[in-house]
């Protein structure tokens, strides 16, 4: 059997009701991505050019707008073996978040620190 290096990919992906998306990785690293953070980092071409305005608090006048709720996912679909696609409650679902990209934007303190220094 060939010895291949450990692939850094998620072992589990949990979408919780209000917390966000918790990803555990093959190297045992674990972090929770707040929904607003993930939505802001949508990798689709449209969002890259025009970063989306993301609601994080409930709309005080819900009657005036359709998207009155704070951002969260309504579902998620795996994309082959390498990525995941989130469906958002603002109607957007185009972004394909590759596992490599998700790891790159990991919001945990350690990763953010090493990103800013590196």
Partner 1 sequence: MGFLKKDSSLNEKEILAALNSINDPDLKQDIVRLGSVNNLKINAGKVTLTIKLTNPACPIKDQIKMEAENIIKKLNGVTDVSVSMDFEVTSQGAGNIPNMIPKVRNTIAVASGKGGVGKSTIAANLASALMKCGARVGLMDADVYGPSIPTLMGDSQKPQITENRIIPPVIHNVKMISMGYFLPKEEAVIWRGPMLHKMIQQFLGEVEWGDLDYLVIDLPPGTGDIQLSLCQTIPLTGAVIVSTPQDLALQVASKAIAMFRKLKTPILGLVENMSFYVCSHCGKRDDIFSHGGTLKASQELNLPFLGAIPLSTEIRRHSDEGHPTALTENPYSKVFRSIASSVASQISITNYRASNIPSMEISN
Contacts to partner 1 by CB under 8 A: 1-2, 4, 7, 9-18, 23, 26, 72-76, 78-83, 96, 99
**Distance in angstroms (rounded) separating the CA atoms of residues 92 and 114:** 31
C-alpha to C-alpha distance for 72 and 19, rounded to whole angstroms: 9
In Å, how far are 47, 64, 79 from 94, measured between CA atoms?
9, 26, 12
Complex with partner 1: residue 61 or 91, whichever CB lies closer = 91
Nearer to partner 1, 51 or 108 (CB): 108
The phi, psi pair for 96, rounded to 5°, reads -100, 110
Q: CA 90, CA 78: separation in Å to the nearest integer?
A: 20
Helix (H, G, I), strand (E, B) or coil at 83: strand
- Quote the least distance from Cβ 26 to partner 1, whole Å: 8
Closest contact distance (angstroms) between CB of 47 and partner 1 is: 19
| Pick 6 or 64: Cβ nearer partner 1 | 6
CB of 77 to partner 1, least distance (A): 8
Looking at the Cβ atoms of 80 and 109, the one nearer to partner 1 is 80
Q: How far is the CB of 18 from partner 1 (least distance, A)?
A: 8
């Amino acid at each position: 059997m060939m010895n291949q290096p450990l692939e850094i990919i998620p072992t589990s992906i949990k979408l919780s009701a209000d917390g966000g998306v918790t990803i555990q990785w093959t190297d045992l690293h674990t972090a929770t991505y707040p929904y607003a953070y993930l939505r802001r980092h949508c990798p689709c071409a449209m969002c890259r050019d025009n970063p989306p305005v993301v609601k994080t608090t409930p709309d005080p006048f819900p009657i005036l707008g359709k998207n009155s709720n704070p951002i969260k996912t309504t579902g998620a679909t795996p994309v082959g073996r390498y990525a995941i696609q989130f469906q958002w409650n603002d109607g957007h679902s185009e972004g394909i978040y590759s596992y490599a990209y998700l790891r790159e934007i990991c919001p945990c303190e350690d990763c953010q620190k090493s990103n800013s220094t590196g």
